[in-house]
Chain A
Amino acid sequence: MKLTVTDVRKSFGATEVLRGASLTVREGDLAAVLGPSGCGKTTLLRIVAGFEGLDGGSVRIGEREVAGLPPERRGVGIVPQEAALFPHLSVARNVGFGLPRGSSGRTGRIEECLELVGLAGYGDRMPHQISGGQQQRVALARALAPRPGVVLLDEPFNALDRSLRVSVRDEVRAALKRAGATAVLVTHDQEEALSMADTVAVMREGRIVQEGAPSSIYAAPRDLGVATFVGEAVVLTASRGRDTVTCELGDLLPRRDGATGTANGTADGTGNGTASETGNGAANGTADGAANGSVAGNGAGNGTAGSVALRPEQFVLRAPGEGAGGLVERVEFFGHDAAVTVTLESGTVIRARTRGDVPHRPGDRVGVTVEGPVLFFAD
């Protein structure tokens, strides 16, 4: 069922945890609420589940207002951190806990739900006899069994090993989709949110600040905070002219909202060539001076002071002399790709994502250019 959270407020004593949080999840969607620790996302989830009361606002499941109802009358399934299976009950009885006792379809439904999460035949095991990932999937089956309107997942993969996490994520997503469930996943892991969810809601200081498809949140964050939280970014002071953004890496192409990836190749080739020279010039005559200059020039319509956020995959490492000069500090090899940390001549440190067969070694001199349209945020 559709979940509509409108303007929810909640304070614990003098601490205002939720300041008008709103969130809409379409029926059958998996939405991720993404935010740093302490942003209020767990409180939001507990309010939807009914474990905490709210001070203001409304929570609707389908067309039904549930804000005043106790948890047992909301029809909300939860998958807590660390699974939290009932340790004294078998897997089957855990899954059947929410089903009416003695109902005819009970055994069938338990089997069906276990199958849904790929654990058919595990019903007789006790929770301590199965692995952490399996426990998490049983917890999901238990939540899905009574066919709840909404399933809430509270950082469910935190307790799992990194290697296991990816596969359990896939299985959980697949099971939710097979069940056609509407689900909300709370997480602080941007990779998890971006890879699993149909929509991502970024939460900050008790509010949802941006909602949208994962790709659009990553590509078009509404402000610098979202840009740096959703994905890595190197942030440089910059000034915006009519068609370009100028920073120490040169004149770059600003991203226009709604228009993704325009003429990458040509624009970059020329843009970067010239940019590197101007960039170096600016670096020589202190960055502060340049920033002040652009602020002064603001009134003349020349440039707007602000910041530019550059993604690691936008950096291109070239031969020394091309682009901004820098020294390779560190190469982290991941197999499929690598991360190269470069200190530019200005002292700025950047981290570039490159292909796995990176030819550079620490101590090498390189040139750095930027590829693709960049994110600019005015101050």
Chain B
Amino acid sequence: MAVRRVPERTAVRRVPERTAVRRVPAGTAARRIPAGLLAPAGVTAALALLPVGYLAVRSAEGGADAVARTLLRGRTLELAVRSLGLAAVVTALCVVVGISLAWLVVRSDLPGRRVFGVLAALPLAVPSYVAAYTWVAATGIEGFGGSVLVLTLCSYPYVYLPVAAALRRMDPAMEEVALSLGRGRSGVVLRQLRPSAAAGGLLVAMYVLAEFGAVAIMRFDVFTTQIYTSYRSGFSRTPAAVLGLLLVAITLVIVVAEFRTRGRAGYATRGAPARRPPVVRLGGAARAGALAWSVALAGLAVGFPLVSICYWLAGGSSAGADAGRIAEAVAATLGVAAAGAVLTTALAVPVGIIAARYRGRTATFLEQSTYVGHSLPGIVMALSLVFFAVRYVPAIYQRWPLLVIAYAVLFMPAAVGAVRASVLQSPPVLEEVARSLGRGPLRAVGEVTLPLALPGVLAGAALVFLTAMKELPATLLLRPTGMDTLATRLWTETGSGAYGAAAPYAALLMLLAAVPGFVLGRRSLEEAS
């Protein structure tokens, strides 16, 4: 038989071969990380791991007996039940609220759905303790109910945002197949939303467990508040350390679960469908109900705190709030937050570059160690730094450097993420060209990659700056004596029932927080249009 082999003419452009070849060595032939990057990244990792590590050391020092006594107390079990119960209820409510709002905004003909789409993301901008303050000040609601209300209203965007994104990317063909097979569409939709809803829900659970300010203002005792009390009372610090470690362990379970579902959620939503999903027409009654639900949520989550603050500001009852004190708090807040942003970014740059450019065990370890801050409740981290500083570096205890270091550990994940993402935007081939033109590995990064990554790195620094200004628990424990930030002033005034005096701080914090919230909302509006 005759064989015909006519090679293809080369008009067809092929996929660049390099990517294909490069994928092979993943993890096996890792390039060596230059010492100039490795050393500072090592410092960052050590700093990030210090709090957890030292907490473990400190707990162990108390002796097995003391540890066991703390763990086996009836009070510990009660705290666990209260903490986990609060987390479970808030998570469940956030899932319901988040999915329902996401579906209405993305897939129904709800009137004004684009406006609701923006409003739905805004609660992220309201610090939970500020929201708690507005509710306590206006209604006097407290305890479990108050905590559930405030935390649900502040946290549901963590479910809403990923679910809305998943709904937008869902292929309408799947629903049509289900309908053609005689099934309803809701089953298919819910099945597909499960990964993103689960990831969002776990994030909510993690934040609720780490929450300090809102529950403390609501006077609902959980792990975090008990740790604070037990540290303040201060006979023996072992119980505080042990409770902190226990909370870290619980959080870690959730972090691991969240990490896994996030991976799966990524696969479920990969690729954009060719068509936009169809909009479901709501009937008259359903339409009215949906509108009422959306208006109520937006009103409670965004409208209520604003109105409450305005009421206290305008009511003239903001007695005791003098302009000098406010200015002092603003200056202090700006100062420590800026220092925190600078240190965080400086520490994040080497790790972010390594995370973007190198593979292998060392690179993975360095990157992941910085994510510890993500799973560490602020109060626990602060406590550990207090222990460490008191014993080893008393010179910085109750001085601002310790607080700035705490910010760096807490907000490192955001900064590393920003550096990594922006370095990835700059193609590695540019570094190779720079190498071939005589630059060493570090200079190639410095002259080519970093200038190109600069906007992203600065955006990350800005985000850290804004987040640090709102930080409460670590600031409360670590601030220098006599120094107050906006957050700690709000805390103090609320604690003594001076709601009017607290109002200006709440208003300023809302204003600060609105900046990234505004950006987020605009992005989701752009996605929606």
Contact = CB atoms under 8 A, between A and B. Distances in A.
Interface string A39-71: 001110000011111000000000000000011
Interface stretch (A226-234, A298-306, A355-363): A226-234
B432 to A, nearest CB: 5
B10 A78 contact: no
- Interface of chain B, main secondary structure: loop
B395 interface: no
B10 A191 contact: yes
B429 A42 contact: no
B285 interface: no
A43 B21 contact: yes
A215 interface: no
Contacts, number: 131
A84 interface: yes
B3 A72 contact: no
B409 to A, nearest CB: 33
Given A74-B436, A76-B436, A190-B10, A12 B4 contact: no
A70 B438 CA distance: 9
Given A12-B29, A80-B433, A86 B448 contact: yes
A84 B430 CA distance: 6
Interface string A309-342: 0000000000000000000000000000000000
A313 to B, nearest CB: 13
A123 interface: no
Nearest to A351: B6
B391 interface: no
A17 B24 contact: yes
B432 A80 contact: yes
Interface in A27-48: 37-38, 41-43
Contacts of A170: none
B437 A248 contact: no
Interface string B455-476: 0000000000000000000000
B359 to A, nearest CB: 12
- Which of B10, B15, B440, B448 neighbours the largest number of chain A CB atoms within 10 Å of its CB? B10
A51 to B, nearest CB: 5
B3 to A, nearest CB: 5
A50 B448 CA distance: 19
Contact of A72 (B4, B14, B439, B448): B439
Contacts of A146: 437-438
Given A12-B25, A13-B25, A235 B437 contact: no
A229 B7 contact: yes
B448 to A, nearest CB: 6
A217 to B, nearest CB: 14
B16 interface: yes
B452 interface: yes
B11 interface: yes
A310 to B, nearest CB: 11
B262 interface: no
A349 interface: yes
B21 A72 contact: no
B1 interface: yes
Given A86-B448, A146-B438, A81 B24 contact: no
Interface string A75-93: 0111011001011100000
Interface residues of B, number: 38
B322 interface: no
A192 B15 CA distance: 17
Contact of B20 (A38, A155, A188): A38
- Interface of chain A, main secondary structure: mixed
Contacts of B427: 84
B17 A155 contact: yes
Contact of B432 (A12, A49, A97, A307): A49
Contact of B435 (A12, A72, A351): A72
Contacts of B7: 190, 228-229, 231-233
A142 B430 CA distance: 12
Nearest to B437: A98
A175 B269 CA distance: 49
B2 interface: yes
B495 to A, nearest CB: 51
Given A188-B14, A228-B7, A78 B28 contact: no
Contacts of B20: 37-38
A86 B436 contact: no
Interface in B353-389: none
A23 interface: no
A3 B15 CA distance: 28
Contacts of B4: 234-235, 348-350
Given A13-B29, A72-B440, A236-B3, A78 B432 contact: yes
A80 B435 contact: no
B28 A12 contact: yes
Contact of B1 (A13, A43, A192, A288): A288
B191 interface: no
B432 A71 contact: yes
A71 B29 contact: no
A248 B441 CA distance: 61
Q: Please provide the 10 A-B residue pairs with the shortest distance between their CB atoms, ordered closest to farther.
A: A98-B437, A12-B24, A71-B435, A348-B2, A12-B25, A13-B28, A189-B10, A84-B429, A236-B2, A78-B436
Given A51-B432, A348-B4, 6 more contacts: A84-B427, A146-B437, A162-B11, A233-B5, A237-B3, A350-B4
25 contacts: A12-B21, A17-B21, A41-B17, A42-B21, A43-B21, A70-B435, A78-B436, A80-B429, A84-B433, A86-B430, A88-B452, A158-B16, A188-B14, A190-B10, A232-B6, A232-B9, A237-B1, A247-B2, A248-B2, A288-B1, A346-B2, A348-B4, A349-B4, A350-B4, A351-B6
